[in-house]
């Protein structure tokens, strides 16, 4: 068994979920470290943490599905993770922030803004007059791609070999 891999007798779905949580934690730590090094107060650290862990969980669940659907689930996870990070980054960089107050989900507040922006695009909700602070767009972009890369690299490795 590969170092760091979860016991292969555990069902793939559970291995992928555990690997996703671990990758999310690694992605969160690396994202917050990058954010501190760049001295970027936005997004808030709690939002960064919650978004990265949620990305890990979602990536683990997605990997469990991809293992059953494709011959190259690791590559498909890479493409999916980077595509989601790109869309999320573009939404924050290009569109105005949503108007009003959204749901408060504690450390998962960072997930709400892009979802509300997508909703406003299709006519559910409205855009506000403000944009994400331009001075922090580079940091925001970096912290979107760090968890995506962590998930894409670590989930297939930690979930182990393909098994039913």
Summarize pLDDT for 148-162 with one digit per residue, the tens.
999 999 999 999 865
- Check pLDDT > 90 for residue 109: no
End-to-end CA, the chain: 16
Mean pLDDT score across all residues of the chain: 88
The pTM assigned to this predicted structure is: 0.84
Rg of the chain over CA atoms, in angstroms?
A: 17
Q: Is residue 3 part of a domain?
A: no
pLDDT tens digit sequence for 69-103: 999 999 999 999 999 999 999 998 998 888 877 77
Structure token digits, residue 74: 């690791």
Number of structural domains the chain divides into: 1
* DSSP symbols for 17-39: HHHHHHHHHHHHHHHHHHHHHTT
Residue 56 structural domain: 12-159
Q: Is residue 71 part of a domain?
A: yes
């Amino acid at each position: 068994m590969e170092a760091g891999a979860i016991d292969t007798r555990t069902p793939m779905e559970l291995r992928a979920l555990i690997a996703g949580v671990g990758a999310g934690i690694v992605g969160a730590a690396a994202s917050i470290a990058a954010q501190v090094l760049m001295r970027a107060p936005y997004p808030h650290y709690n939002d960064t943490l919650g978004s990265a862990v949620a990305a890990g969980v979602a990536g683990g669940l997605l990997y469990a599905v991809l293992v059953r659907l494709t011959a190259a689930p690791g590559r498909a996870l890479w493409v999916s993770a980077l595509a989601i990070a790109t869309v999320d980054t573009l939404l924050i960089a290009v569109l105005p922030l949503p108007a009003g107050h959204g749901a408060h989900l504690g450390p998962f507040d960072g997930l709400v803004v892009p979802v509300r922006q997508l909703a406003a695009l299709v006519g559910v909700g409205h855009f506000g007059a403000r944009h994400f602070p331009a001075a922090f767009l580079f940091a925001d972009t970096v912290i979107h791609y760090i968890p995506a890369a962590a998930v894409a690299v670590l989930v297939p490795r930690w979930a182990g070999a393909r098994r039913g």
